[in-house]
Structure 1
């Protein structure tokens, strides 16, 4: 069973380790991989401007995600009224067991509670399984974004019903 809960300061090292593990498969895709993964491995720093949710399974942290609520600082390509999902990561050994979906569901609850009209995220076609999940949940690509370190990205949005 997957349990989603708010991030606590004691989760820092484990969240950062899961983020790093989740992105290792892309080491040949991103230019300047060493500096890119260094940033990824500081995922817990997002807690300064976002609500981080943690997924636990059998008492072990298996995933995490950041929810940036309306009005909080974000990339300029996201409207300030939207909620934004950032850095959804799941331990590669635990993928396919529902942690990603549960984390997104947690973000959608936070977005609704905050009164956001929509939830946005950005992702890349190289993240095929995540992209399939987002599209199955109703996210639709609405904009091409500039590549990040040579990797193409798009913006996806899910309008929320009032």
Structure 2
């Protein structure tokens, strides 16, 4: 699994992977058509974030956005933090390490940026991702308002607690 910066030629594949990754939640979110339309524009995050892709055998297996300190973000994340946004993995490629490698790429970028903390928001409905985040060391520190009827929480990892071993995966 190779993690690299997203390039223009990856945009449609990133958007397709995002739609496929979220399809399993179609019954969880209110106003699903509008929600998935936004998810399907994931590549647009590259305008304000470092958009990373995981590639295997020439295909995009997953993607994630890293918002470094000072970049626009939701108001529940302090400006000096790095933020991991919208980790997606192609359902056909799950279990091959793409998600973990993409998080490792974000943690490497956060360390390089000097961010004191890395934050993300996720939901209990995303059980596999949540288990991975907690295994890496992220801790839930507050509840957030539901998004389209789905509960969310904010999770945080102190830069000092980032394992060098996880960063090597990127």
- Counterpart CA distance in 1 for 2:64 and 2:7 is 13
For 1:4-48, what per-residue CA distance to the aligned partner results, in whole angstroms no more than 9, with x for missing partners? 000101111000000000000000000000000000000000000
- Counterpart CA distance in 2 for 1:5 and 1:49 is 17
Q: Could you tell me which runs of 5 or more consecutive residues in structure 2 were left unpaired when the two chains were aligned.
A: 162-170
* Paired position in structure 2 for 1:43: 42
- Counterpart CA distance in 1 for 2:8 and 2:112 is 23
* Paired position in structure 1 for 2:108: 109
* Paired position in structure 2 for 1:81: 80
Q: Secondary structure of 1:161's partner?
A: helix
* Paired position in structure 2 for 1:118: 117
- Counterpart CA distance in 1 for 2:59 and 2:6 is 13
For 1:86-116, what per-residue CA distance to the aligned partner results, in whole angstroms no more than 9, with x for missing partners? 0000000111110000000000000000000
Deviation at 1:148, TM superposition (A): 0.1
The yes-or-no answer on 1:147 pairing with 2:146 is: yes
- Counterpart CA distance in 2 for 1:58 and 1:12 is 17
Structure 1 stretches of 4+ with a deviation exceeding 3 A read: none
* Paired position in structure 1 for 2:168: none
- Counterpart CA distance in 2 for 1:30 and 1:161 is 35
* Paired position in structure 1 for 2:167: none
* Paired position in structure 2 for 1:133: 132
Q: How many residues align?
A: 161
Q: TM-score, normalised by structure 2?
A: 0.94
